[in-house]
Amino acid sequence: MLPPRLSPWGQCGVVQAVDLWVPQVKELLSHFSFLPAWRFDDVMISYAPVGGSAGPHYDEYDVFLIQVEGSKRWLLGQIEDENPPLLDNSDLRIVKDFQQTQEWLLAPGDMLYLPPRLSHWGIAETEGMTFSVGFRSPSLAELLADLAVELSTGNNDIYYRDPQLSVDMASERIHPAFIQQVQALLGQLLSDDGLMEDWFARFMTAPKYPGLEKLTKELRKARIDDRVYHNGDVVN
C-alpha cells in the first residue's frame, strides 16, 4: 500500500495491485478478454475528496479508468514526445505545459481508455474512487536487462569474434567494422526464435511480487504452441 500522495492540486490516495487481495476486484478482468491476459499488470484503486488530483501527467502504459464512486472530470492533453518539460521534485511525470484537447466527466460505471504517453488530468468533482486497470509496457532497457540475465544463466555459445582485420584497424580508434560485427552477433541472437519465445513468455508472466504467490494466489499465464507458462516457468 502506498501512502496518500500530496500535491499542489489536492490530496489523493492510491493502493496498487488490489486484484491480488480482493477477489471481487479481480473479477473485473473477465471484462478485458479482448486483450492478451499476459499483458495485464494490476488494478489500482485511487481515492480522492472533492478537488483531489494527482496533477497533469502521463504514463508509459495502457490504462482503463473505471469510475466506481462519485464523479471525476478528466482533462486530456496530447501524446507527449520523448522529453516533454516536467515539473521538478515529483514522482509522477507532471507536465509543465499541459495543453487540454478534450474533457470528459465520468460518473459511476463510466470507463475511459488512455493510451501510453497521453497527458491527462483527473479532478474529483465529488468524493469518490477510481479503478485503474493497467497493462504491462516494459521499457526497452527492462527487456534488455532481463534478456541479459536469461543469457547469463543459460547455455549461450555465441562469442565475440573480430571481423576481417586490416593494418589501418590497429589503432585506438574503433573501426566501424567492429561495431558492425557486434550488431551481427546481436542480430544472430535476436533471430533465434526459440530463445526469444521462451524468454519473452517467462518475462511477461513473471509475478508482480515474486515470493508472495502463495499468499496472493497470483497466477500469470501464457502459452506458445504446446508450451504453457505459469508465473515465469514452463509447467509442461
pLDDT digit string, tens, across residues 124-152: 999 999 999 999 999 999 999 999 998 88
Q: 214 in the Ramachandran plot: left (φ > 0), alpha (ψ -120 to 50) or beta?
A: alpha
Give the pLDDT mean for 47-59: 91
5-135: CATH topology is Jelly Rolls (2.60.120)
Selected residue with higher pLDDT from 220 and 96: 220
- pLDDT for residue 3 is more than 70: no
The CATH number of domain 140-234 is 3.40.366.30: yes
Where are the CATH 2.60.120.650 domain residues in the chain?
Answer: 5-135
CA 45 to mean position of chain CA atoms: 17
What nine digits make up the cell of 111? 470507463
For residue 192, what pLDDT is reported? 92
Rounded distance, CA 105 to CA 16, Å? 24
From CA 233, how far away is CA 13, in angstroms rounded?
A: 35
DSSP state of 95: B
Locate 229 and state its grid cell: 507458462
Joined together, the cell numbers standing for residue 159 give 562469442
The reported pLDDT for the residue numbered 152 is 87
Sequence ranges of the chain with CATH classification 3.40.366.30: 140-234
| Nearest CA among 206, 208, 199 for reference residue 43 | 208
